[in-house]
Amino acid sequence: MSAQQDKHGELPTMEDQINAVGFGRFHILAVTTFILFIISDGMELVVTNVIWRAMPVEEWGGDDSMRALLVSLSFSGFVVGAIIGGQLGDTFGRKPILYAHTMVFVPLSIASATSESFYQLAVTRFLIGISMGLVLPTSVALMAELSPCNVRSRLILLIPGLAYAVGQVIVLTVGIVLMGYYGWNCEKCSWWRGMLVAGVVPDVVAVLMVYLYIPESPRFLLSQGRTAEAEAIIRSIAETNGTESQLLHQGAIRPVKEEHDKAEASMEAWQLMGELFKPPMNRILPLVVGIWSLLAVGLFSQSFAYPVLLERDPTITAFDQYWLMIQLAFIEIPGLVVLIWALEGTHVGRREILLVLSLASVVVAGIMIMISDKGTTWLHLGSMGLRLMVVLPYEAMYIFAAELLPTSHRNLGLSLGNGATKLVAALMPLVLMPLIHLWGASVFLVILLAEVLAAVLVWVSPHTDDVLYDCVEEMPKTVNESAPLLPKDATV
């Protein structure tokens, strides 16, 4: 035990101290910072797809296949960034990854907006994707590790949930404003370039807030044997929140590792990756990746296909398209409120909520198969309902995955899981574009099948109990033994 151990018993755990400090001003600053980072990721969901009709495609020698490739490249970069960032984040800490993201994202966004060829644009969007792969899983992991359990779910959900919706609204609104400035009928104007650089401002504000207000994850420091630094950060958070009097044992924390085990706690990146293939992580990670990837098929298929399907109506202008997509993004916000209530205000488990949402997506996708060719109005109304159903379980996975993964593997596990979803996002445009030309409703059949498979995996997944575990050794056997279709021989 630490030299500061209380004479009357064991010191409180990290979870005990964070819960004692409670929610306050610090957490408002933190969640605002991470939302600003991920707003740019929300922009990436739509921007390279919707600017296609305004780009000098013929001049650059492009066609519809290049449209799918351009959208795919951004998400492909995310996969690379997620793998790199996940390993480095669990080895060197969360904050350095956030700084690395901004150092890549800002200059490349400017380079992307000044592209003079399809190939320059493609390369810069791929590299920007790498930077986004660094920041999203790291932001979610850091927010989870800084939050008390009574607000953890809602804070984690606010990051991708609110940021995705706001990011889409901002970039589409910027497009509408720029269209108006250049003239509604200006076919060869460069207003679309402004949309590519729109994410720089929130990103710069976010990195300044990290520098001024956001510490390294105390859970990460504890897992590395740096207990004194972790305790100092807990005291600082309590001071910011005005809750110093609520600290247990003056902010002292029970070490995860004894002093002689610190070297073992500080694993190299390749060792950390190897741990994922040993019990119990070799049972948890495939479920996280599998469920999240299948849910991603629904979200990213709809995100890519909706503007393409709108363009099949010759009466829909670019302004109409952007305005309808803004409505589609706004529908996510009330859905997010309902999801937070379901996760925090009811006694329904995470697994059950994911299962209900997946099955609801199956029903709505089936309806869309029947009504999507009935005109733009039916397509839009049905798409709003489908967006709500596919985005909510995808966002709920940030909580489910964070609770399944221990601190020692959380950033890497979240990065691999979320990176797998972006691999799906990279593949779907290439798969869907030829299918849309054959039969527009094929998109919704793909979504239906993916959601059915996701529901099956959710059904066989373990329960979580709203607790973050700092290392594999702390995880209860119930987390690993309640998945009936997985091997039973691996124990903690």
pLDDT tens by residue, 266-301: 445 455 556 666 666 677 788 889 999 999 999 999
**Does 473 or 143 have the greater pLDDT score?**
143
pLDDT classification of 104: cutoffs 50, 70, 90: very high
**Does 76 or 9 have the greater pLDDT score?**
76
Report yes or no on 418 lying in a domain: yes
Q: Is the pLDDT of residue 9 over 80?
A: no
244-247: long-range pairs with CB below 8 Å, 24+ = 246/20, 246/21, 246/22, 247/17, 247/20, 247/21
pLDDT classification of 481: cutoffs 50, 70, 90: very low
pLDDT for the residue 251: 86
Q: How many domains does the chain have?
A: 1
Report yes or no on 6 lying in a domain: no
Percent of the chain having pLDDT more than 70?
84
Q: Is the pLDDT of residue 433 over 60?
A: yes
The amino acid present at 149, given as its one-letter code, is: C
pLDDT classification of 411: cutoffs 50, 70, 90: low
pLDDT tens sequence across 228-239? 999 999 999 999
Tokens, residue 9: 């018993």
Q: Is the pLDDT of residue 90 over 90?
A: no
pLDDT classification of 167: cutoffs 50, 70, 90: very high
pLDDT for the residue 64: 73
Report yes or no on 195 lying in a domain: yes
Three-state SS letters, 20-66: HHCCCHHHHHHHHHHHHHHHHHHHHCCHHHHCHHHCCCCCCCCCHHH
Contacts of 36 (CB under 8 A, 6+ apart): 163, 202, 203, 205, 206, 209
Question: Cα-atom radius of gyration of the chain, to the nearest Å?
Answer: 23
What is the overall mean pLDDT for the chain?
84
Weakest mean pLDDT among 110-114, 145-149, 413-417, 471-475: 471-475
pLDDT classification of 8: cutoffs 50, 70, 90: very low
Report yes or no on 415 lying in a domain: yes
pLDDT for the residue 485: 37
pLDDT tens sequence across 179-215? 888 877 776 678 899 999 999 999 999 999 999 999 9
Report yes or no on 468 lying in a domain: yes
Percent of the chain having pLDDT more than 90?
47
DSSP assignment of 414-426, as one string?
Answer: HHHHHHHHHHHHH
Q: Is the pLDDT of residue 156 over 90?
A: no
Stretch 251-273: mean pLDDT, rounded?
Answer: 58
pLDDT for the residue 182: 83
Contacts of 141 (CB under 8 A, 6+ apart): 89, 94, 217, 402, 410, 411, 414
Report yes or no on 489 lying in a domain: no
Determine the structural domain holding residue 421 and report its residue range: 14-481
Q: Is the pLDDT of residue 302 over 90?
A: yes
Stretch 59-71: mean pLDDT, rounded?
Answer: 82
Stretch 363-391: mean pLDDT, rounded?
Answer: 95
The CATH number that applies at residue 298 is 1.20.1250.20
pLDDT for the residue 407: 64
